[in-house]
Amino acid sequence: GTELKLQTLSIEDQPMVEDENALRVAPAKQDIHHNAKPKFSVLVVEDTNAAAKLLCMMLKKLDCSSNRAENGKEALDILRDASSAKFNLILMDLRMPVMDGLEATRIIKNELKLNIPVIALTGESSLETKQKCEAIGFDGFYTKPLRRIQLKDLVEKLNSLTAYPKTVGGSLDTLTKSNESLNEENATNQNFKILKSNALTPSSGDQQMIDVDKNALNRTVAPKFSVLIVEDTNAAAKLLYMMLKNNDCVSTRAENGKEALDILRDSSPDKFDLILMDLRMPV
C-alpha cells in the first residue's frame, strides 16, 4: 500500500510543468493548421444535391473552401450575415425554388451592392437567357455541367487579380469567354486523339472519308458500349452523360420510367449494354 501511495505522490508532484507546456503547445499546432486553410472562398448556390456536391468536391481539389446555399433566399441570408470579404466568388444556379438565381443576383448587385463576381450556371444556353443575365449584372455565364478545367481557369484568373475589374456595360464573358474557347480546343484535340488511336485505314473505295468533317469521322469511330440513362434531373443526367462520354461510351436519356420503357420497346434487344436507373421520378 505504501509503494502505491508513493507512486501516486510522484505522479502528482513532478509532471505539472510538463502538462502546462503540453497545453501551451497544442493551441500553437491548431493555429498553424488554421493559417493553412485555403483563402479563396466560394459560395455555391445550387438546389440539386448531386450538382452541389460535385462543385464542392472540385473546389476542394483546387484548394478552395466552399459554402452551399440551396436557393437564392438562403444565399442572401448567408451574404447578409457574412463579412463583405468572406467570399471571392459566387456560383449561381438560375432555376431554383423559393428564389431563383436571377432575382438573387439582382438583389446582390443592386441592393446589397456587393462587389463579388457572380457566375451563372444553367442548362439553358439560349441568347435570351444570356442577355437576361448580362442585364442583371452577372459576371460570367456557363452551361452545365461546369467542367473542372473551366473552374480551375476561373479560380486562377480571380486569384491573379489584385482587384476585381468590374466594368459597367462590359461583356458578360469577361471571365468565362476564354474558358469556353479553351474547352472547345481541348475537345477538338481529344477527338483527334481518338481517331489517331483507332488508326482507321480506309480502303481504296473509302478515300472520300479523308475529306469529311470531324463530326462525321467521330461518328465512324463511335464507341459501341451503349448506356440508357433514366434520370429526371437535368444536371445529374448531364453529369452522367459527360462521364460516360469521357469513358468512350454512348448514351441515351429518358426522363422517367415510362419514357425508358418506350425507348426499350422501340429498340433492338441488343441496343443497350447497361441501364442507369434513378429511383424517384415523376410518371
Could you state, in chain order, the average pLDDT of each consecutive group of 10 residues for the chain (283 residues)? 46 44 45 56 94 93 94 96 88 96 97 94 88 94 89 90 45 58 44 36 39 42 75 90 85 93 86 91 87
Asked if 231 contacts 280 with a C-beta cutoff of 8 angstroms, the reply is: no
Long-range contacts, 270-275 (Cβ 8 Å, 24+): 271/226, 272/226, 272/227, 272/228, 273/225, 273/226, 273/227, 274/225, 274/226, 274/227, 274/228, 275/227, 275/228, 275/230
Instruction: Give the C-alpha separation, 71 to 44, whole Å.
Output: 10
Predicted confidence at residue 100, as pLDDT, reads: 96
Instruction: Give the C-alpha separation, 24 to 3, whole Å.
Output: 32
Specify the pairing of strand 89-93 against strand 41-45: parallel
Predicted confidence at residue 159, as pLDDT, reads: 84
| CA dist list (Å): 282 to 96, 113, 228 | 18, 40, 17
Strand stretches in the chain, DSSP E:
41-45, 65-69, 89-93, 118-122, 140-143, 226-230, 250-254, 274-277
Cβ neighbours for 157, distance < 8 A, ≥ 6 positions apart:
175
Phi, psi of 184 (to 5 degrees): -65, -40
Predicted confidence at residue 102, as pLDDT, reads: 97
Predicted confidence at residue 35, as pLDDT, reads: 55
Asked if 106 contacts 130 with a C-beta cutoff of 8 angstroms, the reply is: no
Place of cell 450556371: 121
Instruction: Give the C-alpha separation, 258 to 248, whole Å.
Output: 27
Q: Of 175, 94, 74, nearest to 136 (Cα)?
A: 94
b/e burial code for range 149-163 (CB count within 10 A of at least 16 → b)? ebbebbbebbeeeee
Predicted confidence at residue 78, as pLDDT, reads: 96
For the entire predicted model, the pTM comes to 0.53
